[in-house]
Structure formats: C-alpha cells, structure tokens
C-alpha cells in the first residue's frame, strides 16, 4: 500500500461524517472522515475507540460531559461510553475502532 494523504482523502468523500476505510491493523479498522458543523446522534461501542483530529476540532459529549478535541490531539472513548458529536465540529478525523463483524 502506498502513502495516503488523509486530508485529501477526507475532502473528496461525498458527504460529511461518511468515512473511508483505509485498512486494518490486527482487528482494528482505521478510517478517515470529514466533519461538519452538524451534530451526530449518541452511540456507544463494545470496544474502545481512538479519535485523532488532524485539523479543525471535534466537539463531543461523553457520558454527559462536554469534551473539545483540537487539531493534533487524540481522544480515547472508553468501551461502553455513551458519546455524541455536538454542533461545531469541523475538519478531518481519523477513527481507529474494532471492526464490526
């Protein structure tokens, strides 16, 4: 596999919050997506996930508490934690999560 420009890959996705799977590392899936200002409904997962903001910022609510993740920051969401995207997120996000079967 050749190098992937994450910002360019996210920029050409057809819509915000739709991701492109880049590959697997063990059983973890690595994805990139483009964020926009709109919120995303609350969810939780059976395994922890890593959220890496490349540019912009990610506004979350995790277990009822607001969390702001800036460019070049990584946020780990614990397994089972209820989390939602709050309005105001924008930029490029890399997600590393357990692959759904």
Task: Give tens-digit pLDDT for 32-51.
Answer: 999 999 999 999 999 999 99
- Using alpha carbons, list the distances in angstroms from residue 67 to 8, 20, 61, 86: 26, 24, 6, 9
Using alpha carbons, select from 100, 99, 97 the residue that is nearest to residue 83: 97
State the chain's mean pLDDT as an integer: 94
Tell me the pTM: 0.92
Q: What confidence score (pLDDT) does residue 100 get?
A: 66
């Amino acid at each position: 596999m050749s190098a992937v420009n994450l910002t360019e890959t996210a920029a050409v996705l057809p819509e915000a919050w739709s991701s492109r799977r880049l590959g697997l590392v063990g059983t973890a899936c690595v994805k990139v997506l483009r964020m926009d200002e709109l919120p995303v409904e609350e969810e939780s997962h059976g395994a922890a996930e890593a959220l890496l903001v490349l540019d912009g910022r990610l506004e979350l609510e995790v277990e009822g508490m607001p969390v702001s993740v800036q460019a070049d920051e990584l946020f780990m969401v614990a397994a089972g934690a209820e989390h939602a995207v709050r309005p105001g997120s924008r930029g490029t996000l890399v997600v590393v999560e357990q692959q759904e079967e």
